[in-house]
Amino acid sequence: MFLRKPFNDAAERAEVGTIRFLLRRCVAQRMLGLAVVVTLAFSVGVLVAGPIYAEAAREAILGSTLSSASVASVNTRFALSGGPDFDHVAADRAIQYAVAGLPLAAIVEQGRGPIVLSVEGGPAPSYQTTAVFRSGAEEHLPDFDGRPPLVGEVAITDTLARRFGVGIGDRIVAVGTAGAPPPLIVSATFSTPPSGDPFWFGSRSPFPEPARERQAPSIVGEPILLGREGYLQTAARLGITSEFAWDAYLDVAATRFDRAVELPGEIRTIAARLQDTPATAGLRYGNGLDTLVEIVRQRVATLRIPILLVVFQIGAVTLAVLAGVGSLVLTRQSFELAVLRSRGFSRRALLLAQGVQAVLAAVLAYPLGLVLGLGLALMASRSNGRSLPGALFPIRLTPTAAALGLGVAALGALILLLLSIPYLTRTVLEERRSLSRAHGPPLARLPVELFVAPVAVFAFVQLRSGPSGRPSACS
C-alpha cells in the first residue's frame, strides 16, 4: 500500500513495493505487453519508413538527373586566356588549391592554341589546326599507337599522318607568328575520339565530329596532341595565345542532395575569389548546376507529398489499432486495477504504474520500429525494379526519421496512458456493476445466444441444402 508516512523508510519500502508490483505484473501479463509493444513498433516503423524512403528517393533522383545530364552541365570548366608569358604554374596552383574542398572525381588540365603544320623539307605550310595538351589524353584516344609525346614530340591523327605521308619517328614543322621551333618528332598516331566523350568535356571537345558523322571526309580542324611541357614550350616559342582550361569533374556517386544544393553558390564564391587573384585574373567558368538542382527540387517535392500522405494515413490507422489493443489490454486489467484501488492504492500510484508500463512499451518498441522502418523502406525500394545507371538508392536512418519515430513512440505511450485513466477510479463494486448486463446497454442485457443461434442455423441450412437448381439463363 502507498500510504503517506513521515518516515523515509516507509516511502522507500513503498517505492520498492511498487517496482516489485510492476515487475510481477509485466511477467504475468507478458503476452498482453508483447501485443502492445509489437503494435506500437509497427506504428513507429510505418511512419519512419516514409521519410527514409523519401530521402533515398531524393538521392536517387539526384543521381539519375546528374548522370543523364550533359557533361558540361554537371561539371565545371574554369578557363583562362594567356599569351606566351602566361604563368601557367601559378594559375594551376591557385585553381587546384581553390577547388580542393569540392567533391570532385578528377581535375583535368587542358591547353589549346592555333598552329600551322608542314612537312620538314616540304612545301610551304599547308595545314592550319589546333595544338592541344590534356592530362591523361593518351588513355582516351582510340587506336593510340606509340608513346605519349614528350618535349619536342607530337602525336597526330591517322588521317593527318596519311595526308602528310609521315609515320612514327618522322618530323613535322610547326609554324607560328614568332617563327618555327625545331621540328617535332611524331611519337604516336591515334584515331579521333567519339563525339560527346565525357573525358573531352562532351560538346566542348577540341576534336571535331568524326568523319563518318560529317557529310564528306576531311581533316580540317583535327588537332595535334602535345605533352604539357612540350605545349608550353612550343606556345612560348611560337608566340601562341592559348586558352587554358581546368575541367572539374563532380563525383556524382559521392555527392548527396544536401551537398549538391550548396555547390552552385560555393563555385560562384570560388570563381569570384580566383578572379581577384593576380595569377587567375580574367577567369571564366561555366556549368548548369543551378538548373539541375532546381529540377531535382521540383521532382522531389512532387514525389514527397504522395509518399508522406500515404504513410501518415497508414500511421493513423496503426495508432488507432494501438488504441484498440490498449483498450483490450485495459479490459483484461480492469478488475485487477479495481482490486488494487479497493485495497488502498491511490489514483496517483496507479497512474504512475500505468505510465511506467506505457513508457517501458515505448522504449522497447522504438528500436524495433526503427529496424522495421528500414526493412519496409528497403522492401519498397526493391519493388521498384532496377535502379538507373549512376543512381543510388541509399536506405539509411536519417535524423528526421529517428526524430519522427521518437515522437510516434511518445505519442503511443501517451495514448496508452490516457486510455487507462477511466479505469483508475473504479472500485471492485463499481467494476462488477459496469460489467453487469443489468447496467449495460439494452442489447448487452440479452443473451448472446439470441444473436449467434440464428446465424448458426442459417449457415447450417445453407450448407445442408447446397446449390439448388440449375443455373438460370441470366446467371
What pLDDT digit, counting tens, does each position of 91-119 carry? Answer: 999 999 999 999 999 999 999 999 888 77
Closest to 148 in 3D by CA, of 114, 188, 175: 188
- The answer, yes or no, to whether residue 3 has pLDDT greater than 60, is no
Most confident of 271-275, 359-363, 448-452: 271-275
Q: Cβ contacts of residue 143 below 8 Å, gap of 6+? A: 158, 189, 190, 191
Above pLDDT 90, what percent of the chain? 33
State the cell numbers at 149.
609525346
Radius of gyration, CA atoms only, the chain: 39
Contact 136, 300 (CB under 8 A): no
pLDDT of residue 28: 57
For residues 161-189, average pLDDT: 83
Backbone dihedral region for residue 196 (phi beyond 0: left; psi -120 to 50: alpha; all else: beta)? left
The rounded distance, in Å, linking the Cα atoms of 186 and 373 is: 64
Please report how the helices 8-28 and 347-382 are oriented relative to each other, as an axis angle in degrees rounded to 10.
40
Confidence at 141, pLDDT banded by 50, 70, 90:
very high
Please give the pLDDT value at position 244. 96
The separation between the first and the last C-alpha atoms of the chain, rounded to the nearest angstrom, is 71
Question: Which one, of 401, 398, 387, lies nearest residue 63 by Cα?
Answer: 387
pLDDT of residue 370: 93
176: DSSP letter: B
Residue-wise pLDDT for 243-286, tens only, equals: 999 999 999 888 889 899 999 999 999 999 999 999 999 999 99
pLDDT band at 426 (very low <50, low <70, confident <90, very high): low
**CA–CA dist 197, 220 (Å, integer):** 20
Rounded mean pLDDT, 393-412: 90
Could you give the CA distance from residue 420 to residue 122 in angstroms, rounded to a whole number?
103
CA–CA separation, 263 and 184 (whole Å): 43
Give residue for cell 528497403. Answer: 378
**pLDDT bracket for residue 75 (50, 70, 90):** very high
pLDDT at 134: 95
β-bridge pairing 284-286 and 76-82: antiparallel
Residue 64 pLDDT class (50, 70, 90 cuts): confident
Instruction: Match 605519349 to its residue by C-alpha cell.
Output: 148
Averaged pLDDT of the chain: 80
Q: Give pLDDT, residue 239.
A: 86
Could you report the per-residue pLDDT of 196-242, keeping only the tens digit for each?
A: 899 999 888 998 765 444 444 444 568 999 999 999 999 988 888 89
Spatial CB neighbours of 25, under 8 Å, sequence gap ≥ 6: 353, 357
Residue 210 and residue 218: Cα distance in Å, rounded? 9
Whether 141 and 193 have beta carbons less than 8 Å apart is answered as yes
Q: Give the integer Cα–Cα distance in Å for 65 and 388.
A: 10
Can you tell me the distance from the alpha carbon of 84 to that of 371, in angstroms, rounded to the nearest whole number?
64
Dihedral-angle region of residue 121 (phi above 0 means left; psi in -120 to 50 means alpha; beta otherwise): left
pLDDT exceeding 70 applies to what percent of the chain?
72
